[in-house]
Structure 1
């Protein structure tokens, strides 16, 4: 049985590889903004879970596989934010979060596919508190100039250059990187798959 990762995130891919799984990567192309706009007053957890499910369902499935879809967003002062996309937005966000805390919420969906049909599904979200450091203006600008924070949830990483500016986390570090190993293991178990069979 193969695990298909419905994500183009190199960080998620690296987490799975480091944990003994070589997934097949397939990118869904889901229009995240349109999907979020279609939701009726969702909670932050519901938002990321719906996005993770849409990604898992949108890709091509093999006859016998498990599919994992994920989506992460930062909940900060009541606002749920995704990837900054531009240097200007990234800098504005870093100025707001410096010296404060936010919750990185990652939605996970696991689909079990047998004989080409979805025979099981399980979804949940993981929330981890992130304590942001206080980089200088020069450090913030230099970090943003690398391009790293533009295409990641909340505009930061803990496994790259952004790690210099994160004072700590309370919760699962793999969830902050983009895919929670403990949660994914539990969801796999709910659809009848032991993670050890995927190593």
Structure 2
């Protein structure tokens, strides 16, 4: 049985590989705006979970392998004022969000969906979400400008990373650090357990 990651995120792939799993990567190509528009006033946690589910389902429909678990993920930042934001997309938006987030705390919401595929058909599903508090530092205007210029924050949830350039400006996290990197190891393990699967069965033995 293959472990399939329905994401193009290098950070998610790195987390899994560091934790003993070398997944098959299959990008879903889901139109996130269309999925969001199809939902009626979803709560933030419902939104990230629905997006994760849509990504996993899209990959499952293409049946990359006959026997697999397919993991879909999505993350968004829930700000203190209740606004939920995804990827900035442009330098202007990224800079504005960093100016707003400076010195504050926000909740990084991570939704996961796991599908069990047998003989090319989905036979079971499990999904869930969790929240991790992110404490932002207070970078100077010059530091924000330099960070945005790297291009890194444009294509990541909330406009920041923990493991990259953005890590210099994050004071700390309260909760699961792996969820801030894009895929929660504890949540993934628990969801697999709901499908009667052990995460250890997917581990790749370390090289001698």
What band does the TM-score fall into relative to the shorter chain? over 0.9
Counterpart of 1:125 in structure 2 is 129
Q: Deviations over 1:57-113 (max 9, x none)?
A: 101222101000000000012011000000000000000000000000010000011
Q: Deviations over 1:141-170 (max 9, x none)?
A: 000000000000000000111000000110
Counterpart of 1:93 in structure 2 is 97
TM-score, normalised to structure 1's length?
0.99
Structure 2 unaligned regions, length at least 5: 204-208
Three-state SS of the structure 2 residue aligned to 1:34 is helix
Q: Determine the C-alpha separation between the residues in 2 that align with 1:155 and 1:130.
A: 12
Counterpart of 2:45 in structure 1 is 45
Counterpart of 2:20 in structure 1 is 20
State the 4+ residue runs in structure 1 displaced beyond 4 angstroms.
Answer: none
Which of 151, 154, 160 does residue 155 from structure 2 map onto?
A: 151
Counterpart of 1:30 in structure 2 is 30
TM-score, normalised to structure 2's length?
0.95
Which of 100, 115, 127 does residue 111 from structure 1 map onto?
A: 115
Structure 1 unaligned regions, length at least 5: none
Q: Determine the C-alpha separation between the residues in 2 that align with 1:13 and 1:89.
A: 26
- Provide the aligned C-alpha RMSD in A: 0.6
User: Which residues in structure 2 correspond to 1:58-77 (within 5 Å)?
Assistant: 58-59=58-59, 60-61=62-63, 62-76=65-79, 77=81
Counterpart of 2:8 in structure 1 is 8
Report deviation, 1:38.
Answer: 1.4
User: Which residues in structure 2 correspond to 1:168-179 (within 5 Å)?
Assistant: 168-179=172-183
User: Which residues in structure 2 correspond to 1:154-169 (within 5 Å)?
Assistant: 154-169=158-173
